[in-house]
Amino acid sequence: MLQLPESPFSESKTNSRVSSETPDKLREEGDLCGLPRSLERKEAPEKQTPLTETQKFEKKHGVTVEMRGDKYVYILKLNGQDKELITTDGNAKGMEKAEAELAKLRNEKISELTKTFKVTFAQEGEDVIKQWIQKDDCSWERGGMIKSRRPNLAELHGIEAALYKAQPSHLTKGGGDGVKFYFLNANYYKGDPALAYFIQQDKNNHQAVYFEPGANEGKPITEADADRMGKHHLYSIEAVTHHELMHNAQHNSNWNTANVKEKWARKLGWLPFEDPKTHETKWIFTGKQSEVYRRDQDHCKDEFKWCSCGKHGGLQDAEGDAVAKVKEAKHFTLDQIRDLAAVKPSTRYFVNPLEMFAEGGMKYRVNERRRQELLQDSPRLYEAVKEHDQEEITLRYGKTTNGEPNYIRSVSGKLVKNSPEARAEITAFEEKIRNPEKKQ
């Protein structure tokens, strides 16, 4: 029987195997999920100015430090509220005391999450994996060993918020324990920053999530904090964690086998094709008029482009004639492809079917507002995610004697007992969005 932990958040309506493959192959097969999401955004880089000692402290610990009289107050901006953690003298000795107190709170939270969800966290200075470096000829080599650091309180609370709604996707395939979280001190791919990666097997053959350096700096902890701060909601620590745990769900559901991956990819409008040069299976994306598009590059150092292509993946120019190179093909912007798609991606990050699905799953689970956005913007993606989610829940937590699932996911994202009332709530939510003019 599933014992659901009570969330503290209020509702507010290797790696031996990994290192034997190249990153290109692993990314295509879904082993390293999480291409640089930040590079899909339209945001100007922020100007860098030297940090004060207080700002360095805030950056390290994920807290806000306020001066009140002669005291420092250390605040965690959590779930739309300011949570005062500790107060010290407003000087260097006070910060030293705060450092020790916050470390204690961090360790207590790690122990709590490990006990509640079976997840674990890498130690300070723990070996992670050797860095990938891509050479000018596009071949790969290994660099120095990447080390892990300990997470700060903001990161732990963001992960916690996701864990309460990601169940059972936080568990490993066997269900005996949860994933392991690492916080890297160097980019997994040198010179190619991202936010996070899901890893099928870490150095101990364990499912894991790697957070990149700086991925969570200045980010809202939860979606409630993102709305409060006016930040793009997909940057919250909670949302990024949901995304990576959706990749863990894919792994647990055997997406690394071709037939399963293709089944779900087709539901999202993606079709497989064989690259004639490499004989690798790649993906083309279908449009509303059954036209197809391909995201590719001529050289590993080139920018990826969305291109027009034929039914078998061959590139085409503006006249529909076959061409050999990406630079010769008809190009489309990311936003044009999103609007033309037969199944609209829920966000601007949809470089392949795995990532498009993970983004949809994040919005389906994170809260009622994002779930509403998903159903309004992309009904077919919503239905695919809902189907996959229920299959995972039922597989993990079983059925009743009459063959019904023991648990379903409520509109808030939490798992609840499968009852007529719970089902009615979901139906009413979906009907209201599908038929906004219909009287409720």
Among 14, 38, 27, smallest CA distance to 215 is for 38
pLDDT higher than threshold 70 for residue 322: yes
Alpha-carbon dihedral angle through residues 220, 222, 224, 226, given to the nearest 10 degrees: 30
pLDDT at 160: 98
* Average pLDDT rounded to a whole number, residues 319-328: 96
The 10 Å CB-count burial string (b at 16+, else e) for 235-263 is bbbbbbbbbbbbbbbbbbbebeeeeebbe
Give pLDDT tens digits for 72-103: 999 999 998 999 999 999 999 999 999 999 99
pLDDT higher than threshold 70 for residue 106: yes
* Average pLDDT rounded to a whole number, residues 380-385: 98
Q: Which amino acid is at 293?
A: Y
pLDDT at 232: 59
Retrieve residue 275's tokens: 């690259």
Distant-in-sequence, close-in-space partners of 48: CB < 8 Å, separation ≥ 6: none
Give pLDDT tens digits for 41-81: 434 455 678 999 999 999 999 999 999 999 999 999 999 89
pLDDT higher than threshold 50 for residue 27: no
pLDDT at 296: 94
Res. 351 pLDDT band, cuts 50 70 90: very high
Three-class secondary structure of residue 344 per DSSP: coil
Q: Which amino acid is at 137?
A: D
Q: What is the mean pLDDT of the chain?
A: 89
pLDDT higher than threshold 70 for residue 18: no
Res. 279 pLDDT band, cuts 50 70 90: confident
Write down the pTM of the prediction. 0.90
218 or 338: which leads in pLDDT: 338
Res. 262 pLDDT band, cuts 50 70 90: very high
Q: What does the domain layout of the chain look like in residue ranges?
A: 51-117, 269-340
* CA–CA separation, 1 and 392 (whole Å): 15
pLDDT at 436: 79
DSSP designation for 435: -
8 A C-beta contact, residue 223 and residue 236: yes
Name residue, tokens 């700002």: 55
Retrieve residue 60's tokens: 């390290």
8 A C-beta contact, residue 344 and residue 356: no
* Average pLDDT rounded to a whole number, residues 365-389: 97
pLDDT higher than threshold 90 for residue 319: yes
pLDDT at 147: 98
Give pLDDT tens digits for 199-246: 999 999 999 999 999 999 989 999 999 888 876 555 799 999 999 999
* Average pLDDT rounded to a whole number, residues 335-363: 96
Give pLDDT tens digits for 288-307: 999 999 999 999 999 999 99
Name residue, tokens 């904090």: 225
**By mean pLDDT, which of 181-185, 311-315, 424-428 is the weakest?**
311-315
Name residue, tokens 């350096």: 213
pLDDT at 40: 40
Res. 13 pLDDT band, cuts 50 70 90: very low
Give pLDDT tens digits for 108-166: 999 999 999 999 999 999 999 999 999 999 999 999 999 999 999 999 999 999 999 99
pLDDT at 4: 52
Three-class secondary structure of residue 318 per DSSP: coil
Retrieve residue 174's tokens: 């066997």
pLDDT at 339: 97
